[in-house]
C-alpha cells in the first residue's frame, strides 16, 4: 500500500541516483505543488536545487515577502525576484482577459529565463506537475504547457525549456501531494492554502490594471481572507477571493456624495475547480466583512456577494 513516508524514501533515492551532482532549477509559486516538489528535491540534492520565486506584482497583500521568508526558513536555496514593475508596465492599458494572460505568461518566461541563465551549468528543470496536469496536457486541446509554448514560438524555446525535466509528483493526486508534504514537516497552513491562479489579481481586476487598483484589491482581499480564517471558515471553502469591478456607484459619506468602486466577493465549494457552488457564508460574517471593507479601504463604497454557480459562471470573473 502507498504511504507518504515510503513515497518520500523511494523518491529521494531515485532523485539522487538520477541527478547526481547536477544543478536543478525550479520555479516556486507559493502553492502546494511547487513547494512539495522543492522540499523533496532539497532532501535529495540540497544546495544544488536553485529555486526561483518571481513577484509579478499581482500576488496577495504581503504574500511575496511572507512566503519567501517561509521558504528560507525551510532551508531552501531560493532567490526572490521582484519583477512587479516589469509586469505592470507591460500590462498597462490592456483590457482583454486573454491578452492579459498572454502578457503575464510571456513576461514570466522572460524573467525566468533571465534568472535561470544566472545558474551556471544547470542540467535540469524541476516542475511540480501532478497527475491531473499530466492528463490535462495530453488532452486534445492542449494543457498549460501547450499554452506556454504558444507564447514563445518566435525565435524558438527559451533556454530553460531545453533543460531535462524532472517531475517528482507526476503520479500523485492533490491529496497525496498534501500528505507527502505533511510527512516532510511542511507547515499545514501552507499545505491547506486555497488555489490561486497564475495570473493572480490580474484576472480579478476587470478591465485594465493599474498599481492603484492592485493595491485596492489587495486590501479588500486581505480583509476577506483573514476574516474567513478568523471565523474558522477558511478550511470549509475551496477557493475565495475578491473582484474589483469596472463600475463606480453613488454613495454617501457624511454629507458628501461619493462615486466610488464596487467589489464582488466570491467563495466556492468544489473538488477540482471544474464545477463549483457558491458557499452559503453566514450573514453576520458577510455583514462584518462588508463594513470592514467599506470603512477601511479608500475608494470602495459598495460590496456585493457572488451567488452564481459554475457552470455557467466561472470561478474567476475573467
Of 267 and 315, the one with the shorter C-beta distance to ligand XMP is 315
HSE at residue 55, side-chain half, CA atoms within 13 A, is: 18
d(CA 23, CA 45): 9
d(CA 313, CA 309): 6
d(CA 105, CA 101): 6
Check the annotation: does 33 bind a ligand. Answer: yes
The footprint of ligand XMP on residues 92-111 (CB under 6 A) is 101
**List 4, 195, 251, 299, residue binding ligand XMP (CB under 6 A):** 195
Q: What angle do CA 290, 199, 295 make, to 5 degrees?
A: 15
Could you give the 3-state DSSP secondary structure of residue 274?
coil
Check the annotation: does 20 bind a ligand. Answer: no
Of 80 and 143, the one with the shorter C-beta distance to ligand XMP is 143
**List 111, 199, 223, 265, residue binding ligand XMP (CB under 6 A):** 199
Q: How many other β-carbons are positioned within 10 Å of the β-carbon of residue 135?
A: 10
The footprint of ligand XMP on residues 216-255 (CB under 6 A) is 239
Q: How many other β-carbons are positioned within 10 Å of the β-carbon of residue 193?
A: 15
Q: Which of 273, 297, 293 is nearest to 285 (CA)?
A: 293
The footprint of ligand XMP on residues 272-311 (CB under 6 A) is 273, 310
Check the annotation: does 29 bind a ligand. Answer: yes
The footprint of ligand XMP on residues 122-181 (CB under 6 A) is none
80 binds ligand XMP (CB under 6 A): no
Of 8 and 202, the one with the shorter C-beta distance to ligand XMP is 202
266 binds ligand XMP (CB under 6 A): no
316 binds ligand XMP (CB under 6 A): yes
Of 60 and 101, the one with the shorter C-beta distance to ligand XMP is 101
Laid out side by side, the sheet with 164-166 consists of 78-82, 49-55, 23-28, 122-126, 164-166
**List 30, 158, 197, 227, residue binding ligand XMP (CB under 6 A):** 197
Contact 39, 181 (CB under 8 A): yes
# chain residues binding ligand XMP, by CB under 6 A: 12
Q: Is the peptide bond before 267 cis (omega within 30 degrees of 0)?
A: no
315 binds ligand XMP (CB under 6 A): yes
Known binding positions for ATP: 29-35
Known binding positions: 29-35
Q: Which residues of the chain form contacts with ligand XMP (CB under 6 A)?
A: 101, 195, 197-199, 203, 239, 273, 310, 314-316
Amino acid at each position: 500500500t502507498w504511504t507518504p513516508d515510503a513515497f518520500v524514501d523511494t523518491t529521494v533515492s531515485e532523485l539522487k541516483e538520477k541527478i547526481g551532482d547536477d544543478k536543478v532549477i525550479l520555479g516556486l509559486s507559493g502553492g502546494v505543488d511547487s513547494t512539495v516538489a522543492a522540499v523533496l528535491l532539497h532532501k535529495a540534492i540540497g544546495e544544488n536545487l536553485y529555486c526561483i520565486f518571481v513577484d509579478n506584482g499581482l500576488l496577495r497583500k504581503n504574500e511575496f515577502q511572507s512566503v519567501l521568508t517561509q521558504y528560507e526558513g525551510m532551508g531552501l536555496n531560493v532567490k526572490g525576484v521582484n519583477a512587479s514593475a516589469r509586469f505592470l508596465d507591460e500590462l498597462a492599458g490592456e483590457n482583454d482577459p486573454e491578452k492579459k494572460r498572454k502578457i503575464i505568461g510571456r513576461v514570466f518566461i522572460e524573467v525566468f529565463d533571465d534568472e535561470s541563465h544566472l545558474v551556471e551549468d544547470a542540467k535540469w528543470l524541476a516542475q511540480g506537475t501532478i497527475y491531473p496536469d499530466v492528463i490535462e496536457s495530453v488532452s486534445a486541446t492542449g494543457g498549460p504547457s501547450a499554452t506556454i509554448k504558444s507564447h514563445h514560438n518566435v525565435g524558438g524555446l527559451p533556454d530553460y525549456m531545453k533543460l531535462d525535466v524532472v517531475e517528482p509528483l507526476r503520479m500523485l493526486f492533490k491529496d497525496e501531494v498534501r500528505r507527502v508534504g505533511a510527512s516532510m514537516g511542511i507547515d499545514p497552513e501552507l499545505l491547506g492554502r486555497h488555489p490561486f491562479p497564475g495570473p493572480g489579481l490580474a484576472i480579478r481586476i476587470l478591465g485594465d490594471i493599474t498599481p492603484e487598483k492592485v493595491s485596492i484589491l489587495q486590501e479588500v482581499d486581505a480583509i476577506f481572507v483573514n476574516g474567513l480564517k478568523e471565523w474558522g471558515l477558511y478550511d470549509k471553502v475551496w477557493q475565495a477571493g475578491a473582484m474589483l469591478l469596472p463600475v463606480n456607484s453613488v454613495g454617501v459619506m457624511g454629507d458628501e456624495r461619493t462615486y466610488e468602486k464596487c467589489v464582488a466577493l466570491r467563495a466556492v465549494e468544489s473538488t477540482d475547480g471544474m464545477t463549483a457552488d457558491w458557499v452559503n457564508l453566514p450573514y453576520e460574517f458577510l455583514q462584518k466583512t462588508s463594513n470592514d471593507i467599506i470603512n477601511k479601504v479608500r475608494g470602495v463604497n459598495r460590496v456585493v456577494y457572488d451567488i452564481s454557480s459554475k457552470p455557467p459562471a466561472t470561478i474567476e470573473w475573467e
